[in-house]
Amino acid sequence: MEKKMALIIEEGKVINGHIILSNPLSLAEGTEVRVQIEPVDPVPVNKDDAQNTDSNESEDFANQPFFGMWADREEMRDSVAWVRKQREKWKERLTRTE
């Protein structure tokens, strides 16, 4: 029987091409692992930088070609109701009809 292990998430830094973890791992020597690299976003140094970053990201998002593409769709006027209706359909698909 194969023994499964829980997912471990640790943060670290890349130094001279090597990943240095903040905390040592308590894994047996020779344990095979899969590593997924996810960069941690840097925290702005001061309040002004944070406001500028948020503003720029909002403007960039609003300029994407998909932004507002459903604005003229009648069934999307009440998006909450539309989502609720779609979820009801999911429940119907989960019941078996024989």
- Per-residue pLDDT of 47-73, as tens digits, reads 555 555 556 677 787 788 887 887 888
DSSP for 15-74 reads ETTEEEESS-----TT--------PPPPPPSSHHHHHHHHHHHHHHHHTSTTTTTTTT-G
Residue-wise pLDDT for 1-24, tens only, equals 566 667 888 888 888 988 888 888
| pLDDT in the model for residue 76 | 81
- Which of these, 13, 6, 12, lies nearest to 27 by C-alpha position? 6
Does 98 or 31 have the greater pLDDT score?
Answer: 31
Q: What is the pTM of this model?
A: 0.33
Helix (H) or strand (E) holding 14: strand 12-15
- Cβ proximity of 86 and 79 under 8 Å: no
